[in-house]
Amino acid sequence: MIINYKEVDIQRDDNVILYNVNFEVHEGEFVYLTGVVGSGKTSLLKTIYGELDLFTGTAEVLGRDMRKIKRRHIPALRKQLGIVFQDFRLLPDRNVRKNLDFVLKATGWNDRTQRADRITEVLDTVGLADKLEAMPYELSGGEQQRVCIARAILNKPRLILADEATGNQDVESGIRTAQILHDLSRQGTAVIMATHNNELISRFQGTVYECRDHRFYRIADAATVHGPIPAATPSETTPATTDATEAHDDDIPLAALAGNPDNDD
């Protein structure tokens, strides 16, 4: 099992975003997280890669206890994760090759030849082998997102987290992005994709969860997303907060994925 959450509350500061989350993800599973903006999707993802701490229930990610994990062990966890951001976060002053090479160097790839081979391999996977020397501004939004997917799979992760990965793309580009992620899951990599796009959910089969009214639901049928699902009433009313992307400046693996050149060596 890749992820196993039982009776977990997701909270930011003193605000509980989601109550009593029960969540399982298995090898090769394709999982959708749905819900309106601010419903808790991004906060849930942040607990998976150690950006938000957990204080209740039991929570394991890739065999690690997220209630007890030490900050010094989080970089090792993140090397087993791939993160695809909605806003790309490519380094604008470097070409595709150098963007990917930066991540490999930051995560311990010291051999230049091995880095070059891996970059070629991942770009071929996402259909951008001919864009090796292209600058980000020379790429379409869909192509930039595919570079981000290539970046996410550089370290052959067991789990990919895609946070609204199709949100800044046109319909055709969004479908292609989702297709690549879905294909990766069929090859054995678990994928969690936060999305508002019900068309993608109907097109690409997967397990569907919905964040709604501070609760977390598994949807038996994708067609019932946003439908009349009975909801338990929280024991106390806590306003939801809008999910916002944050980063720890001292955490090199996440800074690398976010395109922070200050940590380049």
CATH of the domain at 134: 3.40.50.300
39: tokens are 């419903």
Tokens 């002053």 belong to residue: 93
Per the structure, how many domains does the chain have?
A: 1
Q: Stretch 138-156: mean pLDDT, rounded?
A: 94
Residue 46 lies in a domain: no
Selection from 58-67, 161-170, 189-198 with the highest mean pLDDT: 58-67
Residue 152 lies in a domain: yes
Phi, psi angle pair for 228, to nearest 5°: -80, 80
Confidence of residue 220 (pLDDT cuts 50, 70, 90): low
Full-model pTM: 0.82
Q: Reply yes or no on whether the pLDDT at 196 is more than 70.
A: yes
Confidence of residue 238 (pLDDT cuts 50, 70, 90): very low
Residue 212 lies in a domain: yes
Count of CB atoms situated within 10 Å of the CB of 225: 19
What does the mean pLDDT of the chain come to? 84
Q: Reply yes or no on whether the pLDDT at 127 is more than 90.
A: yes
251: tokens are 């955490």
The pLDDT value recorded for residue 86 is 78
Residue 45 lies in a domain: no
Residue 47 lies in a domain: no
The pLDDT value recorded for residue 236 is 32
Give the domain extent around 221. 3-40+52-261
Residues 241, 46: contact at Cβ < 8 Å? no
Residue 82 lies in a domain: yes
The pLDDT value recorded for residue 251 is 40
Question: With the C-alpha atoms ordered 196, 223, 216, 47, is the resulting torsion angle positive or negative?
Answer: negative
pLDDT digits (tens, 9 = 90+) for 73-84: 999 999 899 999
